[in-house]
Amino acid sequence: MLLKKIFKNNFLILGILLSTTGIVSAQSYETNFAKPLSRVLQEISLRFDVRLKYDADTTGKVVPFADFRIRPYSVEESLTNVLSLFDYKYAKQDDKTYKIKAYEYPRRTPDDGKKMLTYLNSLYPDSASWENRKACLKKEVREKLQIDPILKQRTGSKPILSKIRKYDGYTVQNFALETLPGLYVCGSIYTPLSKGKHALILCPNGHWGGGRYNSDEQTRFATLARMGAACVSYDLFGWGESELQVTASAHRTSAAHIIQLVNGISLLDYMLTRKDIDPARVGANGGSGGGSQVVMLSVLDNRLTAACPTVSLASHFDGGCPCESGMPVSLACGGTNNAELMATFAPKPVSVISDGKDWTASVPELEYPYLQRIFGFYHARNQVSNVHLPNEGHDFGINKRRAVYDFFIAGFALDHKMLDESKVTIEPEVAMHSFGAKGEKMPANAIRDFKQVEKYFNRKADSKANSDIDAEKRAQSWTDSLKISNQEKAAQVKAIILKHIKAVRDWHNEHPYTTIPEGINPLTGKPLSQLDREVIANSAKPASVHKALMDGLRKNLDEEQVEKILDFYTIGKVAFTMKGYKSIVPDLTEKEEAYILGQLKAAREQAVDYKSMKAISAIFEVYKNNCEKYLNDNGRNWRQLYKAYVNKVKAEKAINSSK
């Protein structure tokens, strides 16, 4: 049943988003004029004719005095008034689109960066005070990162190396290096064909499409190798071949912040044992998230002699991924930022590459002058440079690569005559794999689940404790909304809800989609999607979990109260979806409405046993398909009705916009 066409179409969803909305229960002073957050945001979207995208969970959140927070003259003031209650904010993407996001501790404004740099500059008026600050930063960054206990657990193993592939002026060799027991970092080493000792450039990957396999990345590594530098390119944690071990979701964890730096240090350990590497010329270069790693490695490892963070460095942004800011390193020594951390590398050569269309736009006016001041303490202002590309955006295109080449040609005496990107061979991704396309060559001891990594961090208990606190808050909030006068009964209801929330969470966490084999959806003939597999995995939970919730609720509550709790689980999808049907089919008969409502309530009751909103929506899609089939079987033409509705909405918008 759950393998029905989960994504049959988006017609109904679009129709619902365009329809008018309202609250089901009565509003009054006694009820705080409350509405679900999801509904308030939908109303703002319709009122101001803007599109809202979501990177925040609205499940179970209620806005008191909801309509009074909306300012009819300002969508942005309205959003601020509503979202600030939940520590959410909006990001304007264009004149008609806003993205709803949780508060982002790593992201501030350039003005915040300016104030921070002014404050930091006041801490060290001379080189002696700067040296004291630098010593504090190097010590506390390690402590905040909690990297030393992990470094002590490394295996010290030698890498598994592939056969060498020879190209025009350089070679490529894949590697898999075991860092923590059973955990491997994979990548490729690009080496000059020339003899002698080569400069070494560590190249941590950034969040680029295609990862380290993309053509911009390969071109950069190979060109640097042709000019005389051995370049080590390696996967982000949870990307590329690492995803085979821990899945992609592991990348957005604080563990990734530590492991990626452990990988970089471990690769330096190995490369510096090779006789073809010159330890006096050891650099690091990466873009975006790879640039964040360059900054951190410059603080952690004194063996680096040159650093080139690209489209990354800012005083007001620490990196938007937990793999860059998952550990609180910016709190070191009372507060710091990536510009100050990069300054600890002085007086060794640094080149900061920036552009005009991302957060590095401020570098020429803010971060670069700051770095020049610190390098001036060592009479080495000429050792820090900035290549700013004001008309370019966030990428690793040709002009960024040329800036990288120029920096390392000058600093490492590379052969500029070999600078010719046309000589580079772009390899297919499969050629760059150490473990094979599907991990078939993975070592027998290899970790196959992120949970196996947690033992090295001893964080599982902390993570579960935080989740338990969140579950407790939700259960309490939902119970409080019922205003049960009998405290003993209220406590029983809360306990029933809390037990169910934890049971669903634990089953979801312990049965990821990867526990379901890849296969074919027999109804579509297409491969099972990740969502298909997640729904299947979560459908296997014991029926007693659902029964305990429903029996407990119905024993202690009336049906209206039960439905209210189920609506919290599913963010009011029954009423919201029903409004969509009524907008698309305005002359619904009582019989049709009763059938549709019955289907939606059935979907709601089943959906409470799923953790993610995508899975909950997938359950509703199954029942909405039933509704559309019912309408078609009873003489309605769903497609025609929907088309007529969309045309009506478009016409109304056209009239309104012309006024």
Q: Are residues 393 and 244 part of one domain?
A: yes
Average pLDDT for 298-313: 98
CATH number of the domain residue 208 falls in: 3.40.50.1820
Q: Are residues 69 and 160 part of one domain?
A: no
The tens digit of pLDDT for each residue in 510-555 reads 888 878 888 888 877 888 888 888 889 899 999 999 999 999 999 9
In this structure, is residue 111 part of a structural domain?
Answer: no
In this structure, is residue 13 part of a structural domain?
Answer: no
pLDDT for residue 658 is more than 70 = no
User: Among 59-63, 151-155, 398-402, 549-553, which stretch is predicted with the lowest mean pLDDT?
Assistant: 59-63
CA 67 vs CA 78, 224, 335, 576: distances in Å:
9, 60, 39, 17
Q: What pLDDT, on the 0 to 100 scale, is given for residue 91?
A: 84
Q: Are residues 540 and 438 part of one domain?
A: no
pTM above 0.85, yes or no: no
Q: Are residues 547 and 494 part of one domain?
A: yes
Q: Are residues 248 and 314 part of one domain?
A: yes
Residue 105 amino acid letter: Y
Residue where a domain terminates, one of 435, 454, 473:
454
In this structure, is residue 466 part of a structural domain?
Answer: yes
User: Among 28-32, 420-424, 432-436, 553-557, which stretch is predicted with the lowest mean pLDDT?
Assistant: 28-32
The tens digit of pLDDT for each residue in 84-117 reads 899 898 888 888 999 998 887 888 889 999 999 9
Residue where a domain terminates, one of 102, 125, 157:
102
Contact 589, 557 (CB under 8 A): no
Q: Are residues 270 and 218 part of one domain?
A: yes
Its domain, for residue 616, covers 460-645
In this structure, is residue 563 part of a structural domain?
Answer: yes
In this structure, is residue 658 part of a structural domain?
Answer: no
CA 107 vs CA 196, 343, 571: distances in Å:
45, 20, 29
Q: Are residues 316 and 464 part of one domain?
A: no
In this structure, is residue 655 part of a structural domain?
Answer: no
The tens digit of pLDDT for each residue in 161-210 reads 999 999 999 999 999 999 999 999 999 999 999 999 999 999 999 999 99
Helices (H) and strands (E) in the chain, counts: 24, 15
Q: Are residues 404 and 319 part of one domain?
A: yes
Range among 375-384, 487-496, 538-547 with highest mean pLDDT value:
375-384
Q: Are residues 629 and 575 part of one domain?
A: yes
User: Among 6-15, 137-146, 318-327, which stretch is predicted with the lowest mean pLDDT?
Assistant: 6-15
Q: Are residues 466 and 444 part of one domain?
A: no
Give the distance, in angstroms, between the CA of residue 99 and the centroid of all CA atoms in the same chain.
Answer: 14
In this structure, is residue 3 part of a structural domain?
Answer: no
The tens digit of pLDDT for each residue in 249-273 reads 999 999 999 999 999 999 999 999 9
Cα end-to-end distance, the chain, whole Å? 49
Residue where a domain terminates, one of 454, 472, 505:
454
In this structure, is residue 76 part of a structural domain?
Answer: yes
pLDDT above 70 coverage of the chain, percent: 94
CATH number of the domain residue 68 falls in: 3.55.50.30
Q: Are residues 589 and 479 part of one domain?
A: yes
| Number of independent structural domains in the chain | 3
Range among 7-16, 88-97, 419-428 with highest mean pLDDT value:
419-428
Average pLDDT for 266-284: 97
Q: What pLDDT, on the 0 to 100 scale, is given for residue 277?
A: 98
Give the distance, in angstroms, between the CA of residue 278 and the centroid of all CA atoms in the same chain.
Answer: 37
Q: Are residues 349 and 486 part of one domain?
A: no
